[in-house]
Amino acid sequence: RRSVKYISTGVKALDELLGGGIETRAITELVGEFGVGKTQLCHQLAVMVQLPEDKGGLRGKALYVDTENTFRPERVVQIAKYRGLDPQEALRNILYARAYNSDHQMIIVDEAKKIIDSEGIRLIVIDSLVAHFRAEYPGRENLAERQQKLNHFIGQLLRIADLYNIAVVFTNQVIAQPDVFFGNPQKPAGGNVVAHGATYRLWLRKSKENTRIAKIFDSPMHPEKEALFRIAEEGLLD
């Protein structure tokens, strides 16, 4: 596709796995169990996007939509320092929005359209995509409405990514499948709506200590390769 660009994750192995990094005009999903590093990667990308193109960035700002109150400015400072950026400037280049419920989450993104070009936003982070929706529309009786709203929101994200040539990254939770006896006992939340909405789906899992393993799933275009990285003081590293 014409004019697609990439934001480096800051991890060579992960960039290679993704075919160059996080793509613009696309939605990349980060899924995995608690503590696996989804939020850490979001922080890292919000810094990486600010770097000049020869260092893997797009010299752009990030819009960070935080639904779980897990954004940590001090973490941005650590990562920015390691990447050679002024920490305070790096923080200013992350437009932070706390989303208090699913409607608010959708309004933030809708309103953001007005400032994407003027502010130079090249990355939108939604951490997490599904948490509010799952809390507000629990159980089977609300499933149809929840999925319909989620579908609307993902459609909105995809249009924005395409129209403004920016990258969209969202995190997703895993849910246990107690009724399966073989294969993967976990699956991503959000069902078909999220599965079809995400352009790239990155599954993260824990390995020893701070080591993590990433794999692209649900993609016929990507080989069943894996990438290793670790979470350190300086952020995510090879």
Residues that bind Mg ion (CB under 5 A): 38-39, 70
Residue 233 partner contact from ligand GTP, Mg ion, none using kind-dependent CB cut-offs of 5 to 8 Å: ligand GTP
Which range touches ligand GTP (CB under 6 A), out of 30-38, 49-57, 137-145, 184-192? 30-38
Q: Where are the alpha helices (DSSP H) in 127-221?
A: 131-136, 143-164, 191-197
Is-contact 6 57, C-beta < 8 A? no
What are the residues facing 105 on neighbouring strands?
A: none
Looking only at residues 39 through 78 of this chain, which bind ligand GTP when binding is defined by CB under 6 A? Answer: 39-40, 70
What are the residues facing 228 on neighbouring strands?
A: 213
Which is nearer to ligand GTP, 19 or 35 (by Cβ)?
35
Q: Is 210 in the site for ligand GTP (CB under 6 A)?
A: yes
Which range touches ligand GTP (CB under 6 A), out of 14-22, 147-155, 184-192, 228-236? 228-236
Of 63, 22, 24, 68, the C-alpha closest to 46 is 63
The distance of closest approach from Cβ of residue 159 to ligand GTP in the complex, given in angstroms and rounded to an integer, is 26
Residues whose CB falls within 8 Å of the CB of residue 68, separated by 6 or more in sequence, listed in order:
127, 128, 131
The distance of closest approach from Cβ of residue 101 to ligand GTP in the complex, given in angstroms and rounded to an integer, is 18
Which range touches ligand GTP (CB under 6 A), out of 20-28, 31-39, 58-66, 140-148? 31-39
Edge-to-edge, what's the strand order for the sheet holding 26-31? 94-98, 61-66, 121-127, 167-172, 26-31, 200-206, 211-217, 226-232, 235-237
The distance of closest approach from Cβ of residue 33 to Mg ion in the complex, given in angstroms and rounded to an integer, is 10
The distance of closest approach from Cβ of residue 149 to Mg ion in the complex, given in angstroms and rounded to an integer, is 22
Question: How far, in Å, CA of 4 to CA of 10, rounded?
Answer: 19
The contact set with ligand GTP (CB under 6 A) reads 32, 34-40, 70, 210, 231-233
